[in-house]
Amino acid sequence: MEKCVKAQTVRSTLCILFAAAALVGCGQKADSGAEKAAAEAKDKVAAAARDAEALVKETEARETGIDAYMYAYPLVTMELTRRVSTNVVAPEGSKAPMAQFAKLRGYPAVDDHTVTAPNADTLYTVIWLDVANEPWIVSAPDMKGRFFLLPMLDGWTTVFADPGKRTTGTAAQKFAITGPGWTGTLPAGVTEYKSATSMVWLLGRIYCTGTPEDYKAVHALQDQMTAVPLSSYGKPYTAAPGTVDPVIDMKTSIRDQVNAMDAASYFKLFAQLLKANPPVAEDAPMVAKLAKIGIVPGRDFDASKLDPAVAKGLAAAPKPAQEKIMAWMKEGVVAGDMKLIDGWAFTTKTGLYGTSYRQRALVTAIGLGANRPQDAVYPTSEGPDVLKKYSGANKYVLHFSKGELPPVDGFWSLTMYDASYFFVPNPINRYTVSQRNKLKPNADGSVDFYIQNESPGKDREENWLPAPKDQFILMMRLYWPKEKAPSILDGSWKIPPVKEAS
């Protein structure tokens, strides 16, 4: 009996132990599952945090990239313009090797898309210089009272000097263009103009009526302009022939080439250009911002070495940056950098920009080579009002009351462009109307300009500005606008609106 009781006790004990063991096992399994679930949850939280952090980095990089893109836009555009403009062995048309003058013997050809918003009022005399190693001395002849302008742009499109009839008179003159950091002695009688960058674009303009006789007179003036390095000044000097890089795209417009660049290529080129064309002191906040996306002046840029999220954000920056640049045409009105009056948008903030980077980028996009406002103002109109675009399907009239044509000490003109700011082919090869046209006034002395696709009739054709069949843009140029009333500079003179003909 005792054995039976013991056996029962043992079995009971074993059952209890087995049950306990089973319970312990179940507890261990439960604990293990909970730990696993917790670990998985923790991993998911960590992954979500990483994704959130990456998204923040990507968003910040995109926004910084947009600002950086607009800041860099002038320098990149200038470089591509320089490459195309100098990619020849010898001067021909609008192109010439580095340090040689390109002398346009006629107005820019209708199919020349090298520079946006070309003019048909002056003959360009253009030269690209690299002043990194030494100054270049430019000599200009006596212009004998003729309007001319020799604005010098640095790599950022700042007009750092603007000799010409308004500022230095029309007598013969010599000047040295010196680069950043250069110190030395210049020959007697030579005026120094210092560039903040090694890249310099002298975009000379000499007024020409376009007649065979005046072409000949201006050609003679162009041929007397010279440029030599300081080390060769006063000595025989022959410019070296240029070289042609077959890789350079000579057909696509510069703006389209710039806009087609992906972010990695764009910022890589920008970083290279910064080495010889450094930021100015007032750009310090932007330079600090650039460092956040791996762009440091004096160093190469490699997008592949960036944090993937940063690289992804930068890759998405070009298109919205381009849209933001062009949107400044209207948004700049609110900021005060642009003015919009009766359908005409213009600015008196050109040539000298300070830290107005978006303004500078817009001017680069639609009017590369723009002068200081005292030298020229460029009112532009895309439509009769902010809600409409011009179309060649309609007919328009621009009416000036008697005595109210543009007030200038130089000259004025009204130019027709297509939607991309290039000349419009037309049957009479007229791209502009100006004071040199034999304008036909109305009986009361007022003047009407007929802006349309088809001729308004022989009796009105002198006042006709031919338009394309589709969208177009108008640009008025006021060279050396009067500074006293009536003046566009202080708002005491306003351009009348372009109205759709009834």
Tokens 């300009």 belong to residue:
449
pLDDT tens digits for the chain (502 residues)? 433 433 344 344 434 434 444 444 444 555 677 888 777 777 777 777 777 788 888 999 999 999 999 999 999 999 999 999 999 999 998 899 999 999 999 888 888 887 778 888 999 999 999 999 999 999 999 999 999 999 999 999 999 999 999 999 999 999 999 999 899 999 999 999 999 999 999 999 999 988 899 999 999 999 999 999 999 999 999 999 999 999 999 999 999 999 999 999 999 999 999 999 999 999 999 999 999 999 999 999 999 999 999 999 999 999 999 999 999 988 998 888 999 999 998 999 999 999 999 999 999 998 899 999 999 999 999 999 878 999 999 999 999 999 999 999 999 999 999 998 899 999 999 999 998 899 999 999 999 999 999 999 999 999 999 999 999 999 999 999 999 999 999 999 999 999 999 7
Q: Say yes or no: 210 and 340 in one domain.
A: no
Residues 367 and 493 placed together within one structural domain of the fold: yes
> What are the two backbone dihedrals, phi and then psi, of residue 436, each rounded to the nearest 5 degrees?
-80, -15
- Asked if the structure places residue 321 within a domain, the reply is no
Q: Phi/psi at 396 (nearest 5 deg)?
A: -130, 160
The three-state secondary structure class of 150 is: coil
In a domain, 197, yes or no: yes
Tell me how far apart the alpha carbons of residues 183 and 169 are, in angstroms, rounded to a whole number: 27
Q: Is residue 391 part of a domain?
A: yes
pTM here is 0.84
Q: Where in 195-289 does DSSP place strands (E)?
A: 199-207, 226-229
17 belongs to a structural domain: no
Q: Are residues 228 and 354 in the same domain?
A: no
- Whether residue 38 lies inside any domain: the answer is no
CATH no. for residue 483?
Answer: 2.60.120.600
CATH number for the domain harbouring residue 162: 2.60.40.1610
Q: Are residues 227 and 341 in the same domain?
A: no
Domain end call among 169, 202, 232 = 232
Do 223 and 349 belong to one domain?
A: no
Q: What is the dihedral of CA 286, 115, 176, 179, to 10 degrees?
A: 30
Rounded CA separation 115/217 (Å): 25
CA distances from 134 to 62, 78, 180, 408 (A): 39, 21, 10, 38
Q: Which two tokens stand for residue 454?
A: 């088809």
Q: Are residues 349 and 491 in the same domain?
A: yes
Q: Which of 232, 263, 290 is the last residue of a domain?
A: 232
Say if residue 208 is in the same domain as residue 352: no
Is residue 227 domain-shared with residue 338, that is, in the same domain? no
Sequence-distant (6+) residues with CB within 8 A of 109 are 93
| Residue 360 domain boundaries | 334-500
Position 141: which residue type?
A: P
The answer on 221 and 356 residing in a single domain is no
Q: What is the Cα Rg of the chain in Å?
A: 33
Is position 385 within any domain? yes
In a domain, 216, yes or no: yes
Domain count along the chain: 2
Tell me the H-state helices in 292-395.
Answer: 308-315, 318-335, 357-367
Helix pair 357-367, 2-85: axis angle to 10 deg = 50
Domain termination residue (choose one: 232, 255, 275)? 232
Among the listed residues 138, 151, 116, 211, the one whose alpha carbon sits nearest the alpha carbon of residue 480: 151
For residue 22, is it within any domain?
no
Distance, CA of 418 to CA of 111 (rounded, Å): 12
